Amino acid sequence: MIQIETHLVKKIARENIVCINCNKDITKGKVYHHEQGVKEHLHSLLARNFCSDKYGEKKLLIGKNL
């Protein structure tokens, strides 16, 4: 299996999406973190979305509970 190096980018939801960790709804206008490839393109269907409310930005960016 090929692994792609990724990082998280803070974004504001333009539509309703779901957190991959807790299945909580991320409503339009809320801040969340989106996974992106560092050197390679990561298709949007493979990229994961994480809510910032429940997990907190520091916890997400350190990589705990992912």
What are 25's two structure tokens?
């709804």
DSSP 8-state assignment for residue 55: H
| Tens digits of residue pLDDT in 22-65 | 898 999 999 998 888 777 776 666 778 888 866 555 655 565 44
Buried/exposed 17-36: b ≥16 CB within 10 Å, e otherwise: bebeeeeeebeeeeebbbbb
Residue of 65, 44, 54, 22 lying closest to 9 (CA atoms)? 44
**What pLDDT is attached to residue 55?**
59
Residue 12: predicted pLDDT: 93
The 10s digit of each residue's pLDDT in 3-16 is 777 778 889 999 99
Could you tell me which residues are beta bridge partners of residue 35?
Answer: 8
- What pLDDT, on a 0 to 100 scale, did the predictor assign at position 64? 46
